[in-house]
Amino acid sequence: MLGISAQGYYKHDYASNEADILSASIVLYCLYVRQKERLPKAGCRELYTLCREYFREKFTIGRDRFYNVLRSNSLMLRRTRYRPRTTDSRHGYRLYRDLVNTSPKYTPAGNGRLVVADITYIYTREGFAYLSLVTDAYSRYIVGYCLSRSLDAEGPLKAMYMALETYRAYGISTEGMIHHSDRGVQYASKQYTDLLLSQGIRISMTQTGDPLHNAL
């Protein structure tokens, strides 16, 4: 009725059983290879080569299907990326009190009343690059930025100089503006704080390691 011969049905059924047996055997062998005393960090390519050598002519599946078997049995290794630490608060510079996370929380009423500064990292082919940002909290406009290869204070300083030039270009006064950041050595350094104080800018720093205190 279905246009399939009995021989064709049994051949397909046999092939399905063979594939299931091979998949189960692959999982068991990979678990054996991944044991602590053998190769616990063996990757997918290494396991694929080892399985081909171990099962020989019985290994009848391709690489993509092999990866699917590993994936469906939670045998894929999680790639752990190194994440550089951009905030180092272990220094001897003065720490300023938090003027933003108060009760009630400070909310800027216009542009140039509060800027938030921070550093993030970017993956590049040549290694890590560090992006210093200064953001106007009212408009959420990035008024200053600098991309550099190091975590020195030079990057944040250049970003802050750009921010001051941006405000001057738009005729916005920064007198009495609050500069909010974490307690990193770059923002607490004498060179950086002297620049802020010379412009009549009030300095505010987070008091804890909670990233929500500097979320913007």
The residue count of the chain comes to 216
C-alpha to C-alpha distance for 186 and 69, rounded to whole angstroms: 49
**Which pLDDT does position 37 carry in this prediction?**
85
The packing angle between helices 44-55 and 63-72, to 10°, is 110
Q: What is the CATH number of domain 114-214?
A: 3.30.420.10
Given a cut of 70, is residue 124 above it in pLDDT?
yes
The domain spans of the chain are 7-72, 114-214
Rounded to whole angstroms, how far apart are CA atoms 101 and 82? 31
Q: DSSP E strands: which ranges in the chain?
A: 114-124, 127-136, 142-148, 178-181, 202-205
Condensed to tens digits (0 to 9), the pLDDT of residues 40-75 reads 888 888 888 889 888 888 888 888 888 888 888 888
State the pLDDT confidence band at 82, using cuts at 50, 70 and 90: low
